[in-house]
A and B are shown apart, each in its own frame.
Chain A
């Protein structure tokens, strides 16, 4: 199985620089090494409990904020298009605006929210990793 281990250098390189990764094909005994260098999360003490708690909360907050944005924007569309007839009179290239709004706009919009969600979640995870590795 592929185990990705980071080079555990004492001083961390510049945060923007891509970290050097070593990809090892090995059995799980390789992974144990990494775990010992971090705070022992597997040992369910109050410290690790609190750390994981805060990570879960941060991730949930990110997910909820973005889901709310997506839900509000998309959820507003049916009502908006139905009760504001003026929107239907706007016709770029002869196509009524509602068709463009529903036929094209949602897809890049959803993709963008998904991209932000991925980035946000990965940032939370990075911060967590740095926290436990310090």
Chain B
């Protein structure tokens, strides 16, 4: 328990709320608000996109995976960034010009099919949930790591904070808040990295040499490890452990020997051992670290890309496909593009986002590498996502370590606060405009309702490897909305039936993979690689189905395709940009002024009138 960290978390929450309230004060009428939003500069807009995008998966998960998987994990930040390259090249400007505010909007504008719109809505909600559950899980892990409160209390607490923010209306609407969140996160990751790295350089350099050896990492001092969930440990170098509490390692393949003394020392021989939750193990100083079964057991295979199983290469390529092409289908990302005034602005904003993300992602790598030396016990528990939180106190004793720990805790809190708010906001406004008629007007209930299932799921299962679980949301987005968006923007002969086929095949396959994976539990090897990274199969399948079905139903290309294509691709200054929220609000300025006060201007618009 680190009281400083608690302070850091509280500070982040208070700052966010203050900024949200202060920022939304200026906008009083709908048009006021719209204009203010539209004149937001490219830089601030980009910072807001990056601030909302950098989730706990980036802040905690990347370093955690790096601690576990080593060099292969570097593909996560690359993929998270490269997704925006695909956005620049194929999507940003035309999508902005189409005037679509959400993906269902786009489906309707382009293909004029209510059924397609409904299916897109379902998928947006699904993707939002797939993304939200790991965020909440990480929140639970973070809060229980730094404060000692139970995992479930942490989740409920964060859900409460997010909901309060979304319901009070300020959180999502104010670009400023998200832009500042980017700054908070960059500060919270870069400053600790600099400090810790210099401390590390001051330490002796035996560390650096030891990484090169084909040996497991080593406990530098005697370490007590508490196992919270059942794990399977891979032991490559036999090790003595004391079982302080709980059932301890189970006997598998006759490999566990019982020591004779009363302290229940256990000799773990090489092989795989199962350890039940509730066990407390004490490793003596200098002993080798047994690692969870799916982590790289030896330092050399961790450091270098040559060693490793053949499925790792498949995983890497599948991951590239899902992250490169999946970012364009994430609901909270797409929604932010609407704040750009023009298509050209959207493109330039994305370019700045690329720069901001590139700067940020230089830092988690160093966290991941340092964790391998200082917090190897996380490899035993499997709770590697906590690396960023625990590293500071492991490297620096006393208050400096706690202060740095407070900074990273605050950054982590900012990460899941901003991303979760964005997700809840975008999911519930999609639900609001699509599933329930606008006049019902009860946005709050929908926001509340759209939180319940993700919170329940997060409570059921403790999250592991948040970057990987978030990867499934990317795979889902890439297998459904990538064909719809890219073909919709660039291919005239796309039909509603084709798009529908792609959504159903891609979404169905990924869902199948997710459910099968959840059913089979964690593991390693080819099967789990395919289930965890299904994009290599599902994305091409969805793309091909979309094209083939469109060709079969070629008679049903919407009549106004040419007009929509022209609107999407002709330069902004020719003046075809359509903003229906603007057009509509122009006529009803008087009565919408009241409703627009809290930045919920976009919720007053009715269904698209055609």
How does the 8 Å CB contact mask read for B217-244 relative to A, with 1 for contact and 0 for none?
0000000000000000000000000000
Would B38 and A2 count as touching, CB distance under 8 A? yes
Q: Provide the residues of chain B in CB contact with A31, threshold 8 Å.
A: 575
Partner of B570, one of A99, A102, A103, A128: A128
Contact status of A107 and B71, CB under 8 A, knowing A6-B573, A66-B89, A82-B313? no
Looking at A60, A103, A113, A117, which has the most chain B CB atoms within 10 Å of its CB? A103
Q: Provide the residues of chain A in CB contact with B305, threshold 8 Å.
A: 78, 81-82, 88, 98
Partner of A104, one of B75, B362, B566: B362
Seed contacts A4-B342, A125-B344; 17 additional CB < 8 Å A-B pairs:
A1-B34, A27-B586, A34-B573, A38-B574, A42-B576, A52-B569, A52-B570, A67-B85, A70-B82, A74-B320, A78-B316, A99-B303, A99-B365, A107-B81, A110-B82, A125-B571, A132-B574
Would A126 and B74 count as touching, CB distance under 8 A? no
Number of A-B residue pairs, CB cutoff 8 Å, is: 157
Would B574 and A129 count as touching, CB distance under 8 A? yes
Query: Measured between alpha carbons, how far is A13 from B361 in the docked complex, in Å?
Result: 44
Query: Measured between alpha carbons, how far is A99 from B324 in the docked complex, in Å?
Result: 20
Residues of B participating in the A interface, judged by any CB pair closer than 8 Å: 34-35, 38-39, 71, 74-75, 78, 81-82, 84-86, 88-90, 93, 208, 303-306, 308, 313, 316-317, 320, 324, 341-342, 344, 347-348, 350-351, 354-355, 357-359, 361-362, 365, 490, 562-563, 565-566, 569-576, 579, 582-583, 586
Would B347 and A111 count as touching, CB distance under 8 A? no
Asked if A28 is at the interface of the complex by the 8 Å CB criterion, the answer is yes
Minimum Cβ distance to chain A for residue B209 (Å): 9
For the complex, count residues of A whose C-beta is within 8 A of B.
63
Query: Measured between alpha carbons, how far is A41 from B564 in the docked complex, in Å?
Result: 12
Partner of A96, one of B90, B304, B365, B572: B304
Would A117 and B571 count as touching, CB distance under 8 A? no
Asked if A25 is at the interface of the complex by the 8 Å CB criterion, the answer is yes
Would A110 and B562 count as touching, CB distance under 8 A? no
Q: Provide the residues of chain A in CB contact with B562, threshold 8 Å.
A: 44, 49, 52
Q: Provide the residues of chain A in CB contact with B304, threshold 8 Å.
A: 85, 88, 96, 98
Would B351 and A111 count as touching, CB distance under 8 A? yes
22 pairs across A/B with beta carbons < 8 Å?
A28-B583, A28-B586, A38-B574, A48-B566, A55-B570, A62-B89, A71-B324, A83-B306, A85-B306, A96-B303, A96-B304, A99-B74, A103-B362, A107-B78, A108-B358, A110-B82, A110-B358, A111-B355, A114-B85, A114-B89, A125-B344, A128-B571
Would A63 and B351 count as touching, CB distance under 8 A? no
Query: Measured between alpha carbons, how far is A9 from B358 in the docked complex, in Å?
Result: 43
How does the 8 Å CB contact mask read for A1-43 relative to B, with 1 for contact and 0 for none?
1111110000000000000000001011001101100100110
Asked if A79 is at the interface of the complex by the 8 Å CB criterion, the answer is yes
Partner of A79, one of B313, B341, B344: B313
From B39, which residue of chain A is reached at the shortest CB distance?
Answer: A2
Contact status of A110 and B81, CB under 8 A, knowing A102-B71, A103-B365? yes
Would B569 and A56 count as touching, CB distance under 8 A? yes
Q: Provide the residues of chain A in CB contact with B71, threshold 8 Å.
A: 81, 98-99, 102
Query: Measured between alpha carbons, how far is A128 from B88 in the docked complex, in Å?
Result: 19
Partner of A75, one of B303, B320, B566: B320
From A19, which residue of chain B is reached at the shortest CB distance?
Answer: B573
Contact status of A78 and B365, CB under 8 A, knowing A2-B38, A66-B89, A114-B351? no
Looking at B78, B324, B357, B562, which has the most chain A CB atoms within 10 Å of its CB? B78
Query: Measured between alpha carbons, how far is A119 from B317 in the docked complex, in Å?
Result: 29
Would B574 and A44 count as touching, CB distance under 8 A? no
4 shortest interchain CB distances as A-B pairs? A107-B358, A125-B571, A102-B74, A63-B89
Contact status of A118 and B38, CB under 8 A, knowing A102-B78, A110-B354, A132-B574? no
Q: Provide the residues of chain B in CB contact with A25, threshold 8 Å.
A: 35
Minimum Cβ distance to chain B for residue A101 (Å): 9
Would A111 and B354 count as touching, CB distance under 8 A? yes
Would A110 and B85 count as touching, CB distance under 8 A? yes
Minimum Cβ distance to chain A for residue B512 (Å): 26
Partner of B313, one of A28, A78, A115, A132: A78
Q: Provide the residues of chain A in CB contact with B90, threshold 8 Å.
A: 63, 67
From A41, which residue of chain B is reached at the shortest CB distance?
Answer: B566
Would A34 and B575 count as touching, CB distance under 8 A? yes
Minimum Cβ distance to chain A for residue B148 (Å): 34
Would A60 and B490 count as touching, CB distance under 8 A? yes
Q: Provide the residues of chain B in CB contact with A44, threshold 8 Å.
A: 562-563
From A79, which residue of chain B is reached at the shortest CB distance?
Answer: B313
Looking at A25, A44, A125, A129, which has the most chain B CB atoms within 10 Å of its CB? A125
Q: Provide the residues of chain B in CB contact with A117, threshold 8 Å.
A: 85, 88-89, 347
Q: Provide the residues of chain B in CB contact with A115, threshold 8 Å.
A: 351
Query: Measured between alpha carbons, how far is A113 from B88 in the docked complex, in Å?
Result: 10
Partner of A129, one of B86, B316, B571: B571
Contact status of A3 and B575, CB under 8 A, knowing A121-B93, A122-B344? yes
Minimum Cβ distance to chain B for residue A82 (Å): 5
Would B85 and A113 count as touching, CB distance under 8 A? yes
Q: Provide the residues of chain A in CB contact with B324, threshold 8 Å.
A: 71
